[in-house]
Amino acid sequence: MAKHDLVIIGAGPGGYVAAIRAAQLGFSVGIVEKEETLGGTCVRVGCIPSKALLESSERYAEIQDKFKEHGIEVSAVNLNLKTLLGRKNKVVKANTDGVAFLMKKNKIAVYKGLGEITAPGNVTVHSKEAETSLEAEKIIIATGSSVASIPGVSPDGELITTSNEAIDYQEVPGHLVVIGGGVIGLELGSVWKRLGAKVTVLEYFDTILPGMDSEIAKDALKIFKKQGLEFQLGARVKGVSSDGKSCTIEIDGKDAIKADRVLVATGRKPNTEGLGLEKLGLALDKRGRIPVDEHFETSIKSIYAIGDVIPGPMLAHKAEEDGVACVELIKTGVGHVDYNLVPAIVYTHPEIASVGQTEEQLKEAGIAYNKGVFPYMANGRARALGETDGKVKILADTKTDRVLGVHIIGVSAGDLIAETVTAMTFGASSEDIARTIHAHPTLAEIVKEAALSVHGNALHI
């Protein structure tokens, strides 16, 4: 029986990063993964392939819509979807190979198969070829999440699809209906719209991106409509059927619609099946997540859980931070993740990024705040880029001026937010950001100007 100080089940961003940190701290580590390649949903079928597709489809859209104004005339633009998907697959392979390399470099033993915790300190790895028993002082569950559908909708992997298939459609659908105006719906809806599909997004709430700052969500809706995406808000999908050629989507109180393909993007659920939790007596919460204490320890001593299987946003970077903190807590007793400062990014064009509290949350909590807003339109670099849609909004405490939330819609929002996350991590005031020198001409100046604008001192407007 192989023995390790630590066995991690799941080699996604939470699990593999925890494994690396544990190896750095001197643990003997084993990691169990049921898929052929390492990296989890994010690397194999999530963040990485979708970003590759977003990049290719953005270039395709740009060459048709934006080159002309630069004086670049292109006579014929053809889409070679096979090459585009092939490039995406290469990007994924480089990343999964990269994770495998990191495991090797850090002398982490990789076990391929389904990990089951048979008792505290014991993991059995079930694979087609063999059953391997592992002994471990500590076990971390990092099994991530998978697509959650809704009542009346059963994805068949053919015409009724999830993000797993929507990163690999072999032809551009004529009409793609996306159920859910959340992150996946908007990112993958954008990809297929740019590649030529008619895309209709059906969203249950009266807003897309529910939970995001509502001013930014409204701006986003306007921009996406301008790009040709179609929306039905307040549309609760109650059923989807397929006759093998097309799909019919039933919407509560509205006319049914037809589509060539459906993408179900209504959220994800924690992966806890097959882990042996029931036999261990490890109870889940109402939403199927594993409850943990502030040290990531479950109700069973020496079994820990991190990432999408525990409460908190289902985001790769949150899972990574969980993983590092969990391992450091095991080793040193010290480790921390600030869940108020987990940035969230939607990789549409333009990007949408946020950190901290929204205006709605501040109002609900009765916290008085000042608001500074600066539009991309007033920034020289944005004009030179031809990317003038969007704004940066900074919310700061009225009494202390401490930054409480930052919300950005605009090109490179995902990169611009990083500065403000760092500032907020250090407890910065809006004046701290406003008095920091930002190079000219950069988009980062929009952040500075928004901070200046918190006290009415913006310069370029």
Question: What distance in Å separates the CA atoms of residue 191 and residue 164, rounded to the nearest whole number?
Answer: 14
* Residue 204 lies near ligand NAD (rule: CB under 6 A): yes
CB atoms within 10 A of CB 86: 11
Q: What value, to the nearest 5°, has the Cα angle with vertex 244 and ends 239 and 245? A: 100
- The whole-angstrom separation of Cα 91 and Cα 75 is 29
CB 410 within 8 A of CB 389: yes
- Residue 431: how many other CB atoms lie within 10 Å: 16
- The window from 17-25, 52-60, 203-211, 271-279 that contacts ligand NAD (CB under 6 A) reads 203-211
Over the range 436-446, which residues count as b (16 or more CB within 10 Å of their CB) and which as e?
A: eebeeebbbbb
CA distance 209 to 295: 31
- For residue 107, the minimal CB distance to ligand NAD (Å) is 31
CB of 240 to ligand NAD, least distance (A): 10
Residue 266 makes contact with ligand NAD by CB under 6 A? yes
Q: How far is the CB of 232 from ligand NAD (least distance, A)?
A: 9
For residues 329 to 368, the per-residue mask of contacts with ligand NAD, x marking binding by CB under 6 A and - elsewhere, is: ----------------xxx---------------------
**Applying CB under 6 A, which of residues 120, 239, 267, 276 lies at the interface with ligand NAD?**
267
The 208-247 contact track toward ligand NAD, x by CB under 6 A, reads --x------------------------xxx----------
Provide, for the chain, the percentages of residues in helix, strand and coil under a 3-state DSSP scheme, each rounded to the nearest 5.
35, 25, 40
Residue among 155, 182, 307, 343 that touches ligand NAD (CB under 6 A): 182
User: Is 336 one of the annotated active-site residues of the chain?
Assistant: no
- Cβ at position 315, least distance to ligand NAD in Å: 5
Q: 240: burial class by Cβ within 10 Å (0-12, 13-18, 19+)? A: buried
Given 165, 203, 219, 387, the residue binding ligand NAD (CB under 6 A): 203
Q: How do 303-305 and 131-141 pair as beta strands?
A: parallel
Q: Is 265 in the site for ligand NAD (CB under 6 A)?
A: yes
Q: Give me the catalytic one of 336, 349, 438, 440.
A: 440
Closer to ligand NAD by CB, 136 or 183: give it: 183
Q: Which of 314, 392, 403, 433 binds ligand NAD (CB under 6 A)?
A: 314
Under rule CB under 6 A, residue 205 binds ligand NAD? yes
* Beta bridge pairs of residue 202: 179, 232
Closer residue to ligand NAD, CB minimum distance, 182 or 390: 182
DSSP codes joined into one string, 249-309: EEETTS--EEESEEEE-S-EEE--TTS-HHHHT----TTSPPP--TTSB-SSTTEEE-GGG
Q: Does 270 bind ligand NAD (CB under 6 A)?
A: no
User: Is residue 108 within 8 Å of residue 31, measured between CB atoms?
Assistant: yes
Residues found near ligand NAD in the complex (CB under 6 A)? 150, 179-185, 187, 202-205, 210, 235-237, 265-268, 314-315, 345-347
Q: Which residues are catalytic?
A: 440
